């Protein structure tokens, strides 16, 4: 039995992950693949956050740089120009909200944690800024460690794996060991659906999702409206909610602790249905015994 980490210390706030939680996405970018440019004003940001929280988001994940396929890297100053005003407004309006920032820059992490952000979500696993991990070790904030092959600008050009789940898992195991040597223990892992993977790679990882639980750490599933859904269904990202919901159930059955989503209400409904299904399992085992044939 693996002793799983079921809580994170978020700047003194204990985040209970013994049951799945929803991370609501707030993209402040003009070019994100689904909702780029939607939240370019303070009223739009606050209205969206109010909705995320009302619908049941435990965490709001704020992104100031697009990581869609083909996206260029932007300077930390540009990220901060987008992030800091929004963070300050959200903190004033929703002081109890649990905030995460999606960044791979150490300077951005330091600045946003100084404004009250409690988690850092990094697509690069510390590989795009050598100052990120030492900064996090100093700040002692929980860290979401994601696998990506390549960089956003080129990650989908020709991703190659012999065994995608094994290789991603090996990568995450190595990085978790390095983080622990630096004194970072509040870690969430993310296999990185859509980040340097083909559609086939993504579905292979999802089919084997429970393998990522071997680390005994919470696992985040970032599937929401991604191309692995809308390309498979031959629809647009705007039409991919039904497919997203279907794959969220698969991820929950594989042990997902956090669903990172655009659509919080639907994700919460999926979790409630999964919980009902889980509660039914012991009852099924208990009622099966009386129907066993005599003599067995």
Q: Give which of 101, 116, 100, 108 is closest to 80, Cα–Cα.
A: 108
268 is catalytic: no
22 φ, ψ to 5°? -110, 130
260 is catalytic: yes
Q: Give which of 207, 103, 178, 183 is closest to 191, Cα–Cα.
A: 207
Q: What is the DSSP letter of 118?
A: -
**Overall size of the chain counted in residues:** 296
Q: Count of CB atoms within 10 A of residue 157's CB?
A: 10
The backbone region for 122, taken as left when phi is positive above 0, alpha when psi lies in -120 to 50, beta otherwise, is beta
Q: What is the DSSP letter of 293?
A: P
114 φ, ψ to 5°? -65, -20
Q: Is 43 exposed, middle or buried (0-12, 13-18, 19+ CB in 10 A)?
A: exposed
Helix segments in 4-131, DSSP class H: 42-54, 76-93, 106-114
- Choosing from 231, 260, 272, 279, which is the catalytic residue? 260
Q: Which residues are catalytic?
A: 226, 260
């Amino acid at each position: 039995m693996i002793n799983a980490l079921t809580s994170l210390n978020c700047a003194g706030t204990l985040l209970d992950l013994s049951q799945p939680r929803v991370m609501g996405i707030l993209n402040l970018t003009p070019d994100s693949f689904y909702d780029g440019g939607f939240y370019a004003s303070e009223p739009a940001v606050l209205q969206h956050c109010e909705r995320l929280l009302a619908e049941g988001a435990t965490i709001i994940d704020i992104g100031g740089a697009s990581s869609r396929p083909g996206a260029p890297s932007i300077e930390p100053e540009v990220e901060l120009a987008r992030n800091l005003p929004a963070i300050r407004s959200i903190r004033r309006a929703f002081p109890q909200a649990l905030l995460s920032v999606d960044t791979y820059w150490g300077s951005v992490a330091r600045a946003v944690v100084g404004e009250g952000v409690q988690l850092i979500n990094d697509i690069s696993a510390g590989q795009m800024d050598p100052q990120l991990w030492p900064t996090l070790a100093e700040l002692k904030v929980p860290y979401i460690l994601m696998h990506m092959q390549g960089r956003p600008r080129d990650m989908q050009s020709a991703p190659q794996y012999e065994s995608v789940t094994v290789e991603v898992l090996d990568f995450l195991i190595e990085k978790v060991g390095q983080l622990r040597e630096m004194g970072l223990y509040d870690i969430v892992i993310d296999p990185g659906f859509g980040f340097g993977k083909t559609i086939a790679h993504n579905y292979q990882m999802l089919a084997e999702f429970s393998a990522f639980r071997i680390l005994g750490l919470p696992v985040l599933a970032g599937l929401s409206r991604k191309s692995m859904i809308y390309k498979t269904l031959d629809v647009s990202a705007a039409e991919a909610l039904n497919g997203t919901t279907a794959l969220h159930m698969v991820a929950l059955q594989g042990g997902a602790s956090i669903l990172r989503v655009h659509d919080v209400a639907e994700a919460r409904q999926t979790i409630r249905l999964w919980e009902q299904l889980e509660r039914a399992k012991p009852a099924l085992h208990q009622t099966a015994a009386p129907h066993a044939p005599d003599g067995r």
